[in-house]
Structure 1
Amino acid sequence: MRAARALDNASRLAPHLPTLQHGNGGAANSRAVARGMSSTAAQVLVFDSSEATGIGWCDALAARSRGRLRGSTVTTLDAAEHELSSQPIAAILLVPDAAGQCFELLARLRSLMPALPVVGVGDAASGERFAREGGHEWVELEPGTAPDAREQQLVERVLRFAVERAGLQSELERQRRLGLHLAHHDTLTDLPNRQLFRTQLRQLLHQAQRNPRALAVMFVDLDRFKQINDTLGHRVGDLMLVEVARRLQSCVRETDIAARRGGDEFTVLLDGIRRGQDAARVARKILTEIAKPYSIGGHELFLTASIGMSLFPADGADSEALVRNADIAMYRAKARGGNTYQFFMPEMTDRAMERMEMENSLHQALERQQFVLYYQPQVDLTSGRIVAMEALIRWQHPEAGMIFPDEFIPLAEETGIIVRMGEWVLGEACRQAKRWDEQGLTPVVQAVNFSARQFQFRRPVERIREVLQETGLDPARLDLELTESAVMKDPGFAMETLRKLRDMGVSISIDDFGTGQSSLAYLKKFPISKLKIDKTFIHTLLADRKDAAITNAIIAMAHELELKAVAEGVETPAQLEYLRGPGCDEVQGYLFSRPVPAEEAGRLLASWNTPLN
């Protein structure tokens, strides 16, 4: 039993590639032979009942291999087991003995260390037994005589080739295991990937159906991670994901599974929970861990998560249903503001189906040309003339009729459809401006909303230049409206991009000013032309002193920065009259015109020639 345990330890300790430290077993002479040899030599264990013969083999192997092999001699099973368990051995040379100890060692090696090369030397009869016992290579020698130089060279070569072959096989096996691991694990975080998670979930469901127990599936989505990734770069984003993965793993048991689904999405499988509150407790722990500060790349960053949960068997009988329902619940948690968890409830399915249908319809709307542009005039408060037309998108749905932006723009932003949609708006608005020119109408500026995603990801300067060239519109006739948040996501990128646009002749307005996050230090540096006061302040400025004060302050600040102030959402003559006081430059709203189709907007341009004052 002691011998078997020693070999079992050796099977775990001794690699099959030669690592090649010097052994500490055998005679002093064999250790002396090994001294001074290259540290890259492969260690060979010579098992010979005659110590003198074993030392001779060690000397011969060292000399014939020119330092590529070095040996240590053992004469007993105990000594062999000690050597195998205490140092890496690349190969074994067996010299049969009358007592048959070498074949006993061979049998144990084949059982516990089958990949370790074993070479034997001796007569033909011993060779036959060696082959039956599972030895690798046998070199037949004349019985009763010492091996001559040719035979020594042959044994050395056989041993060396055996070591090299074992090394290649070991490397191939290592590569196979690595490939298998990479196929089932996320390369960034080393967590199980989507495929492995699905496989493990199915296996646990199969077990749970035979031996009933509850499971919980969590869908974890990071809140506003994209903003950090876009602002600080993918390297910082990747480091954050690695840290999130570590924290996620720290929150679950070894029997549970945490996986990365892709992007900033993770899934967790809790096995054998007793009730839903067990899952809720883990969810709270995950939220707490993820919300702790991150110190990455010299930045102290903060992150939260939204978690959706489904339970087996209550919320689904198969893996697809459980993951889908956890995903639906996650969106509900995100809709509640994030940094929370939500259990799946059956009524959520209807809302999820509506959302999925809306997303599919949005994709189809672009292909089927269901989007149309309406136009709303911007009026100079001094002259009373139209100075710009803002293009506003509408969705002419074949069944639902006219759908307004508030109903589909948030989903378009979330799914990324907004990029293609925004590019279509830009092109169509510029083409319409040229059509009005061809009709002989007074040229006005064409104002176009530009989404944050378009601004950050799709080569905005190059794309705008392409559209202007394609349509032939004068760059001075294009005004891009960006929100404060869009330009503040990456102020450095925004500064460079806005300067390039200004140099092209394109003007920039900050839309919905006063509702987003901005820095006055950057605002004064950005090459912008207008501040558009958000309509929420205009609606109540006559009834709310604070909104009136904010409106006055924005107008005054715009003028101090040599910018124009534009008031949105002007609906009454009283609001218009108030805005004259602080010197608002331009106004826009239902008082002048609702957004109208292009044809009607053209008639407005043709007839609008009466000053307001």
Structure 2
Amino acid sequence: MSPDRHENWKQYQQLTEPVLQAALFLFATATLVSGVYQSLNSMNHGIFPQLNLITAGVSFLMGAFPRYTSLTLKITIATLLGLMSIAYSLIFSGLIGTAFLTIFALHILYLTVSSPGRALGFMGFTVLLFLLFSLIVGQAYVEYGISHLNRMNSPQQWLTRGIALAFTSGFAAFAIILLKRRLLGLLRVQQKTNTRLQQREDELKALAYTDPVTGLPNKMAFEKELHSRSHAGTLGEGYIIVLEIYNFRIVNSLIGPAKADLLLEHVGRLLKSYSSENNFIARYNGVEFVGWAGGWSESDLYERVALFSNRMKQIVREQFPEITLDIRAAASAYPRDGESIEECYKNAGIALYRSEGISAAAVVLYDPAMKDYSSEEMILRSALEEAIEQDEFLVYYQKKISLKDSRVIGLEALTRWQDTASQFVSPMQFIPILNKYHLMNRFGYLILEKVLKDVPEIDARFGADLHIAINISPSLFLDPGFPEFLIAAVRNKGVDPRRIILEITEDVFIEDISKLRQIVEKLKAESLRISLDDFGTGFSSLSYISNLQLDELKVDKSFIDDIHTNEKKFGIFSSICTIGHLLGYTVVAEGVESEAQLTRLLDTDCDIAQGFYFAVPAPVIEL
């Protein structure tokens, strides 16, 4: 017998052992009554009355103390005692005795508590027993006289048979009822188990196909539903709509993860209200939602997306007054814009990247002309988006040197990117793509977090007074949520804000100066420092730099390249240093690559220099 079958059989025996206990008690009672009755009525058949009393005692002891006897021993003793009773009855009462009832009881016992093979074997043995007695009677070894028939007129004999029948029937009833109850109990347990398994399966399906935060179907459910409709021929024409919460990273930082999840719940509930038999909406990834709008016209699309955007803004004003929510929307028509759902989703994604700068209440429809980009540029854009999602960028640092005492007084954070082939891609190549496809803000927030995370390692190597310069793109600097995000991030990391220098380029001056002043004042109020990078190459003028509370002017490398050979450049640079100091700014020369350039810089009032002459950019652990 295999281990599993053996274990199952043991469990079955435990369930049926009460049947054997009942059989022993019933047999003990029956033999006790029979023995007493025979003794009182002088029915002396040798030692059989005494054997009945002994049998009753043994059976009672085994039934009363089940722990001290094994199941096999109980079955064996019950069988032997039963066979003795059967033999006694057959010899002295023949076919009119209680042998049949005893045999019937033993059959029930074996069928209940023993293995099928043993039960059939015992039943076969009892049949052979009757064949044996037929030979014994045939050979006249045992003869039954008229007295056996006369006993049928004895009320005592009828009483004896009635008692035997009562015990046998009682045992049979007990065994069947007990097993029925146990079986029904097992069936109820099985039913409960099946119910729990079904509930668990439903829960797992819900987890597999439902977004836990919004309660909306997830990407897997969306694709399954649309493919199912497509294969069934019920999909029809419609729009794949892509909605994206723009700059959700800022929102998450401003209100915290718990409230950000609550905001997503509101988005999910509002989107659910648009679900119907023809419409299906899902959360595709972190901040992107995708919907299928079946049977909508183009005017329906514009109207309902605008309605959703307005209702969502109202919810945000009421529930989250500290933020503004910017939702971008794009769509592609199926099957007009793609033969498959996947192609339409991809085209809607292309349109989504074109949606920035367009009113949040509008939706951008895919146009085939949007695909007119070079394949290399599209590949690079896709790789950059993946790099942002997977946090593949590295931060290198270049030392900034004081020209007064030659010590390291700061670091500039510079971004490096290794593509999937482990090749470094030049910032001159990927920065324009980030700007063109409106990825710069997502990239900028990511780099800010990485730099702040590096501060403890920087402090361990240089001390806690080193300032750290971080390049901030114009779009990020002008983003409405940028100041709050940066202030919260610096506080959360425990970094002294006076150590952080934000390097902005002159491109920011295309914005209204009053708005710039508000942003700068908000940052300066938190002791953050502002540096004007690449000074001298863009929109800046004395009017601009004198009207902003800057801390540092970083002169463009083009003034440094030939400062040691071009007196005009040297004179301009010296004037910049003078003007910068008059305005209270620190002046930094970037791109110093030779000793001759450094020697010439020392003839000016320049405060700080950096460049390959001093150190190449390196990871913080290699500085």
Determine if the alignment matches structure 1 residue 171 to structure 2 residue 171. Answer: no
Match of 2:328 in 1: 306
Cross-structure match for 1:531: 530
User: Structure 1 counterpart of 2:490, which letter?
Assistant: A
1:554-569 pair list within 5 angstroms: 554-555=548-549, 564-566=551-553
**For residues 611 and 182 of structure 1, what CA distance do their matches in structure 2 show?**
67
CA distance in 2 between partners of 1:259 and 1:389 (Å): 45
Q: What is the aligned counterpart of 2:546 among 519, 535, 552?
A: 552
For 2:243, the equivalent position in structure 1 comes to 220
Partner of 1:423: none
Aligned in 2, Cα 1:466/1:396: closer, same or farther, shift over 3 Å?
closer
Q: Distance in 2 between matches of 1:362 and 1:256?
A: 29
2:604 to 598, 602, 611: 611
Tell me how far apart the structure 2 counterparts of residues 322 and 191 of structure 1 sit (CA, whole Å).
21
Task: Verify: 1:599 aligned to 2:590, yes or no.
Answer: no
Query: Match of 1:285?
Result: 307
Q: Distance in 2 between matches of 1:396 and 1:183?
A: 34
Aligned-partner Cα distance in 1 for 2:486–2:425: 38
TM-score using structure 2 length: 0.52
Alpha-carbon distance in structure 1 between the residues aligned to 2:183 and 2:455: 72
1:463-487 alpha-carbon deviations (Å, 9 max, x no partner)? 2343565xx6566555323656655
In structure 2, relative to structure 1, the CA distance for the partners of 1:459 and 1:164 (3 Å cut) is: farther
How many Å separate the matches in 1 of 2:395 and 2:182? 78
Q: Deviations over 1:50-108 (max 9, x none)?
A: xxxxxxxxxxxxxxxxxxxxxxxxxxxxxxxxxxxxxxxxxxxxxxxxxxxxxxxxxxx
Q: 1:608 to 1:474 in 2, by over 3 A?
A: farther
Evaluate the alpha carbon distance shift between residue 516 and residue 408 of structure 1 in structure 2; reply closer, same or farther with a 3 A threshold. farther
State whether residues 509 and 532 of structure 1, in contact with CA within 8 Å, keep that contact through their aligned partners in structure 2: yes
Aligned position for 1:325: 347
- C-alpha change, 1:464 and 1:516, in structure 2 (3 Å) is farther
Q: Which amino acid aligns with 2:334?
A: F
Structure 1 residues 501-533: Cα deviation after superposition (integer angstroms, max 9, x where no partner): 87xxxx33243397486485773443x5x4325
What secondary structure sits across from 1:253 in the alignment? coil
Structure 1 residue 311 displacement after superposition: 0.7
What is the correspondence of 1:450-489 to structure 2 with a 5 Å cutoff? 451-456=444-449, 458=450, 460-461=452-453, 463-466=454-457, 476=465, 478-481=467-470, 488-489=484-485
Q: Which moved more, 1:472-481 or 1:409-418?
A: 409-418
Residue 585 of structure 1 aligns with which residue?
585
Equivalent pair of 1:186/1:260 in contact (CA under 8 Å) = yes
Check whether the contact 2:553–2:586 (CA below 8 A) recurs between aligned residues. Answer: yes
CA shift, 1:500, in A, is: 5.2
Question: 1:223 Cα shift?
Answer: 1.6
Is contact 1:292-1:302 (8 Å) kept? Answer: no
Alignment partner, residue 187 of structure 1: 212
1:171–1:415 CA distance, 2 compared to 1 (3 A): farther
1:276 aligns with 2:270: no
Residues 200 and 291 from structure 1, CA distance in 2 versus in 1: closer, same or farther, beyond 3 angstroms?
same
State how far apart, in whole Å, the 2-side matches of 1:416 and 1:367 are. 14
Instruction: Report which of the two structures shows the higher radius of gyration computed on alpha carbons.
Output: 2
Amino acid at match of 1:237: A
Q: Quote the residue 2:132 is aligned against.
A: none
Match of 2:141 in 1: none
CA distance in 1, matches of 2:226, 2:328: 21
After superposition, the Cα gap between the structure-2 partners of 1:496 and 1:230, relative to the gap in structure 1 and judged at 3 Å, is closer
Return the alpha-carbon distance in structure 2 between the equivalents of residues 261 and 163 of structure 1: 42
> Which residues in structure 2 correspond to 1:36-55 (within 5 Å)?
none
Q: Distance in 1 between matches of 2:581 and 2:467?
A: 29
Deviates more, 1:171-180 or 1:150-159: 150-159
Distance in 2 separating the partners of 1:352 and 1:292: 41
Change (3 A) 1:307 1:521: closer
Q: Which amino acid aligns with 1:333?
A: S
Contact residue 308 and residue 341 of structure 1 kept, 8 A: yes
8 Å Cα contact 2:490-2:497 kept in structure 1: no
Measured at CA, do residues 536 and 235 of structure 1 come closer, stay the same or move farther in structure 2, by a change above 3 Å?
Answer: farther
How much has 1:264 moved relative to structure 2? 0.8
Matching residue of 2:272 = 249
Over the aligned positions, Cα root-mean-square deviation in angstroms equals 5.1
CA contact (8 A) 2:334 2:341 kept: no
Q: Match for 2:289 among 253, 258, 266?
A: 266
Match in the other structure for 2:562: none
Q: Percent identity at matched positions? A: 16
Deviation, structure 1 residue 225: 1.7
The one-letter amino acid of 1:464's match is V
Count of residues in correspondence between the two structures: 402
Structure 1 residue 611: deviation in Å? 2.6
Change (3 A) 1:607 1:517: same
SS at match of 1:491: helix
Task: Kindly indicate whether the alpha-carbon contact (under 8 Å) linking 1:394 and 1:402 is maintained by their aligned counterparts in 2.
Answer: yes
Equivalents in 1 of 2:458, 2:330: separation in Å?
42
Aligned-residue offset at 1:234: 1.7
TM superposition shift of 1:581: 8.7
TM-score in terms of structure 1 length: 0.53
Aligned in 2, Cα 1:375/1:480: closer, same or farther, shift over 3 Å?
Answer: closer
Instruction: Judge conservation of contact 2:393–2:416 (CA < 8 Å) in 1.
Output: no
CA apart distance, 1:219: 1.1
Q: Tell whether 2:188 aligns with 1:196.
A: no
Say which SS state the counterpart of residue 281 (structure 2) adopts. strand
Name the CA shift for 1:519/1:306 in 2 (closer, same or farther; >3 Å). Answer: same
8 Å CA contact 2:400, 2:411 repeated in 1: yes
- What is the aligned counterpart of 2:383 among 349, 360, 367? 360
Kept after mapping to 1: 8 A contact 2:416/2:425: no
* Residue 553 to residue 582, structure 1, CA distance change in 2 (3 Å): farther
Deviation at residue 245 of structure 1 after TM alignment = 1.1
C-alpha contact 1:452 1:482 (8 A) present in aligned 2: no
Alpha-carbon distance change, 480 to 251 in structure 1, aligned in 2, over 3 angstroms: same
Kindly indicate whether the alpha-carbon contact (under 8 Å) linking 1:371 and 1:396 is maintained by their aligned counterparts in 2. no
Aligned to 1:21: none
Aligned pair in 2 of structure 1 residues 413, 206: CA closer, same or farther (>3 Å)?
same
Matched, 1:345 2:370: no
Displacement of 1:326 in angstroms is 0.9
The 5 Å alignment of 1:382-421 reads 403=428, 406-410=431-435, 414=439, 418=443
The answer to whether the Cα contact below 8 Å between 2:330 and 2:351 also exists between their aligned partners in 1 is yes
Residue ranges of structure 2 left out of the alignment (5+ in a row): 1-165, 509-514, 560-571, 607-623
Structure with higher strand content: 1
Equivalent position to 1:491, from 483, 487, 491: 487
Aligned AA for 2:217? P
What residue identity is the alignment partner of 2:189? E
SS at structure 1 position matched to 2:190:
helix
Paired residues of 1:379 and 1:586 also in contact (CA < 8 A): no
**Residues 165 and 191 (structure 1), Cα distance of their counterparts in 2 relative to 1, 3 Å cut:** same
Cα shift at 1:379: 8.9
> Aligned equivalents of 1:259 and 1:498: distance in 2?
38
Instruction: Determine if contact 2:467/2:501 at 8 Å carries over to the other structure.
Output: no
The verdict on how the C-alpha distance between 1:415 and 1:159 changes in structure 2, with shifts beyond 3 A counting, is farther
